[in-house]
């Protein structure tokens, strides 16, 4: 009999998959409304009017963002954690191009941003890039934390089993 750790259990891996699925579902539901809110709030802050036409443009942009980003997030989260080369938040951040394009087309002046924000997110003229899942939708805060903790648990269990620290 050995006391060496055996890695994550099947239950751990199933739990991680469940948390990943819940996070992917939440992200899919949240992308469109986030695009719409981003457009409307930024437009209002700039002194513009939020019209029915603008709402429709934002809704269309949100649907396009969801159609492109949600499957990519779902596919990423379905991968084994050792195969994930980026995180779901990084994929979400690429969705900023949809509200940005609507606002650019409307002629909304870019937001004042510091140099580090410009360097990290050069295409985010309006400072919309989410810094957390909760920025996309507050309801995603907990699923994001739970998924991250489960991923860390599996990662550490694998490394301990392999004799790494």
Planar angle of CA 73, 27, 30, nearest 5 degrees: 140
pLDDT in tens, 44-58: 999 888 999 999 999
The whole-angstrom separation of Cα 29 and Cα 9 is 31
User: What would the mean pLDDT of 113-139 be, rounded to a whole number?
Assistant: 94
Per-residue pLDDT band for 1 (boundaries 50, 70, 90) equals very low
Per-residue pLDDT band for 7 (boundaries 50, 70, 90) equals confident
pLDDT, mean over the chain: 93
Contacts for 108-117: CB closer than 8 Å, 24+ residues apart: 108/42, 108/43, 108/46, 108/48, 109/46, 111/42
pLDDT in tens, 128-146: 999 999 999 999 999 999 9
pLDDT in tens, 66-88: 999 999 999 999 999 999 999 99
Q: Is the pLDDT of residue 110 over 70?
A: yes
**φ and ψ at residue 7, rounded to 5 degrees:** 90, -175
Rounded to a whole number, what is the distance in angstroms from the first to the last CA of the chain?
23
């Amino acid at each position: 009999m050995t006391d060496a750790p055996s890695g994550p259990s099947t239950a751990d891996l199933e739990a991680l998959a469940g948390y990943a699925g819940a996070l992917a579902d939440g992200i899919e539901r949240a992308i469109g409304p986030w695009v719409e809110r981003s457009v409307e709030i930024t437009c209002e802050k700039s002194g513009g009017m939020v019209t029915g036409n603008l709402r429709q443009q934002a809704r269309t942009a949100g649907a396009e963002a969801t159609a492109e980003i949600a499957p990519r997030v779902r596919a990423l989260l379905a991968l084994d954690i050792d195969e994930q080369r980026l995180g779901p938040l990084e994929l979400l951040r690429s969705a900023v191009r949809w509200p940005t394009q609507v606002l650019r087309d409307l002629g909304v002046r870019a937001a004042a941003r510091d140099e580090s924000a410009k360097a990290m997110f050069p295409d985010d003229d309006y400072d919309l890039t989410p810094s957390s899942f909760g920025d996309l939708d507050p309801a995603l805060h907990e699923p994001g934390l739970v998924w991250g903790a489960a991923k860390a648990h599996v990662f550490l269990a694998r490394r301990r089993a392999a004799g790494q620290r």
